[in-house]
């Protein structure tokens, strides 16, 4: 599981892209527990921490989904395509489920950690 979601070249490439998107270039995960318990840099607020946790779950899902597509349907996703999938799915999930957080698509793409909490 750790190899599939963290260590294989496809997973590493996607995590590198996601971390760059979030301006967290020096941050990394050492194991699955750290990843899925919402591990984050210490300077994130609770609302941003929740967003980051959602993004980590969507990224894990995207890696797993693309791995299955490659294995069973011989369709291989590229890093930019997978990042786009993570951005779209996480935006849709968060924007539909949260009434307290307000943000626009362009803001999400440019700086997802700058979201207004209206709670």
pLDDT for 86: 96
For residue 30, being part of any structural domain is answered with no
pLDDT for 32: 78
For residue 37, being part of any structural domain is answered with no
**Proportion of the chain above pLDDT 90, given as a percent:** 30
For residue 83, being part of any structural domain is answered with yes
For residue 65, being part of any structural domain is answered with yes
Q: Per residue in 50-99, pLDDT tens? A: 888 889 999 999 999 998 888 898 887 777 899 999 999 999 998 888 77
Nearest to 103 by CA among 88, 93, 91: 91
Its pTM surpasses 0.85: no
Q: Which domain holds residue 71?
A: 2-24+54-117
For residue 60, being part of any structural domain is answered with yes
For residue 48, being part of any structural domain is answered with no
Count of structural domains within the chain: 1
For residue 47, being part of any structural domain is answered with no
Q: What is the DSSP string of 37-103?
A: TT---TT--HHHHHHHHHHHHHHHHHHHHHHHHHHHH-----HHHHHHHHHHHHHHHHHHH-SSEE-
CA atoms within 13 A on the CB side of 116: 5
Give me the chain's average pLDDT, please: 82
């Amino acid at each position: 599981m750790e190899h599939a979601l963290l260590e294989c070249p496809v997973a590493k490439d996607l995590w590198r892209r996601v971390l760059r998107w979030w301006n967290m270039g020096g941050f990394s995960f050492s194991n699955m527990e750290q990843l899925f318990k919402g591990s984050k840099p210490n300077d994130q607020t609770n609302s941003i921490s929740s967003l980051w946790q959602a993004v980590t779950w969507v990224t894990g899902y995207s890696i797993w989904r693309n791995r299955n597509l490659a294995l069973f349907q011989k369709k291989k996703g590229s890093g930019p395509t997978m990042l786009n999938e993570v951005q779209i799915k996480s935006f849709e999930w968060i924007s539909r489920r949260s009434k307290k957080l307000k943000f626009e698509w362009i803001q999400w793409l440019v700086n997802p950690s700058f979201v207004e909490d209206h709670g």
